[in-house]
């Protein structure tokens, strides 16, 4: 049965054990995990986790009316219905939010220790225990959040009735690691040269070419270049530069390197997972290819459904494909078979 205990807090800071020991050595002193809760306090609980740019602000609320990063999906009468579920979001350890961050000044000189998805999962386990939650109706994880969801399910620390994974697998693909390692090197060299923000913007621009697809770029940016003082500039360059600047305003180099590395450290044995799992594989995803999702599905020990989604948005389909993903999410949360 899913948890239906009252969760008294809508938002909060949870203090983790001090020190908080980490999977790859080292520990965090005075670490904390920030969380937000939405929906009825006595409803079945759904945990929602997104990519490294996401956070606890899933949707707008009375306390924080700004639009959330998954606003369309988490709302009244939406696929994750706030009239039916108590929904929880967190800021990842090491991330840009209110949880203990790699940008914290006390870590800058000595470096922030490596964070594994298993560390994120253990912090979540302790938070859920603190909130009195004995089981989850569902965990919906996209991209990095799906990796953390797999780590939590593999730990068997808390029963998860339905695990829904979108653009996520049990390990990082070596080519994806290659792309991310180049991004991290760009950032590290920028920091060493005293130009951290331009380097971070450049790394993000490179990352956008792996998140999206050639078809989308052909449709949007197949125009003639402009010339200014004999300098040629292509339309796609302006897009990549803008996305890079936006990202560099929100992230620090330390946070980016920490969470990018955490993706590549991720390794989970699918056989350890016995929950009912729905996997959404994006046909055009360069970072988590369909064959890797198929390998994950074949290795799981519990019931599994594999849904293929065709999208021009590649890995970012979890942010864009509302019409395609909504019925999958609704059916998964209800424990029903997804009709593909």
Active-site annotation holds for 57: no
Active-site annotation holds for 262: no
Q: What is the distance between the alpha carbons of residues 21 and 18, in angstroms, rounded to a whole number?
A: 8
Tell me which of 116, 262, 315, 332 is the catalytic residue: 315
Tell me which of 285, 311, 316, 332 is the catalytic residue: 285
Q: What is the distance between the alpha carbons of residues 201 and 187, in angstroms, rounded to a whole number?
A: 9
Tell me which of 99, 101, 143, 275 is the catalytic residue: 143
What does residue 97 show for φ and ψ, rounded to 5 degrees?
A: -90, -150
Active-site annotation holds for 143: yes
Catalytic residues: 143, 285, 315
């Amino acid at each position: 049965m899913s948890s239906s205990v009252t969760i008294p807090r809508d938002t909060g800071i949870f203090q983790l054990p001090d020190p908080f020991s980490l999977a790859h050595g080292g520990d965090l002193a005075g670490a904390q995990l920030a969380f937000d809760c939405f929906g009825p306090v006595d409803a079945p609980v759904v945990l929602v986790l997104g990519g490294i740019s996401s956070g606890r602000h899933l949707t707008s609320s009375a306390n924080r009316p700004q639009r959330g990063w998954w606003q369309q999906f988490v709302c009244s009468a939406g696929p994750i219905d706030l009239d039916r579920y108590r929904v929880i979001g967190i800021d990842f350890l090491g991330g840009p939010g209110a949880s203990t961050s790699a940008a914290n000044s006390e870590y800058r000189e000595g470096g922030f220790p490596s964070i594994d998805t298993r560390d994120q999962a253990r912090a979540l386990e302790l938070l859920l225990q603190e909130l009195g939650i004995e089981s989850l109706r569902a965990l919906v994880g996209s991209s990095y959040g799906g990796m953390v969801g797999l780590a939590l399910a593999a730990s068997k620390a808390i029963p998860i009735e339905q695990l829904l994974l979108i653009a996520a697998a049990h390990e990082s693909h070596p080519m994806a690691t290659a792309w991310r390692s180049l991004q991290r090197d760009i950032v590290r060299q920028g920091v060493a040269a005293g130009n951290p923000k331009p380097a971070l913007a450049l790394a993000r621009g490179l990352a956008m070419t792996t998140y999206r697809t050639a078809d989308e770029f052909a449709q949007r940016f197949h125009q003639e270049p402009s010339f200014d003082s004999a300098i040629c500039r292509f339309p796609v360059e302006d897009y990549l530069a803008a996305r890079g600047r936006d990202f560099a305003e929100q992230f620090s180099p330390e946070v980016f390197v920490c969470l990018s590395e955490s993706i590549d450290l991720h390794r989970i044995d699918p056989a350890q997972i016995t929950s009912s799992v729905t996997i959404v594989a994006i046909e055009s995803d360069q970072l988590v290819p369909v064959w890797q999702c198929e390998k994950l599905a074949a290795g799981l020990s519990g019931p599994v459904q594999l849904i293929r989604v065709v999208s021009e948005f590649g890995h970012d389909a979890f942010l864009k494909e509302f019409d395609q993903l909504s019925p999958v999410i609704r059916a998964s949360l209800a424990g029903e078979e997804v009709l593909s």
